[in-house]
Amino acid sequence: MQITVVAMMCHTLASIPQPVCREEIVVKDDMPMQTCMLSQAAIADWKGRSIFAGEQWTIGRIKCVPGDYVIKGAA
């Protein structure tokens, strides 16, 4: 089954009291749902190699969505 792994990436700005967050698709692949749910280490590795690789970015949430997930607000 195709699973989409989505990470909520949050950026802390000194001038704004609440972090600014956005969804990012980490991977779309055929995998069991259990594999996705146990993928925290792989997502941390992805973060370290992505544009979010800094202390100012944190992973706010991870979700595993069956099928082809489209980020809200994306065209």
Q: Which of 59, 55, 4, 53 is nearest to 26 (CA)?
A: 4
pLDDT of residue 23: 94
**75 has pLDDT over 60:** no
- Please report the pLDDT score of residue 40 as a whole number: 83
Map out the domains of the chain as residue ranges: 2-66
| 68 Cβ neighbours under 8 A, 6+ residues apart | 2, 4, 28
Q: Identify the residue with better confidence: 74 or 25.
A: 25
Q: Is residue 54 pLDDT above 90, yes or no? A: no
Q: So what's the pLDDT on residue 74? A: 64
Largest CA distance in the chain: 43
**Among the residues of 1-75, which ranges form H helices?**
33-37, 40-49
Give the pairing type, strands 20-30 and 57-66: unpaired
Q: Is the pLDDT at 31 greater than 80, yes or no?
A: yes
**% of the chain with per-residue pLDDT over 70:** 97
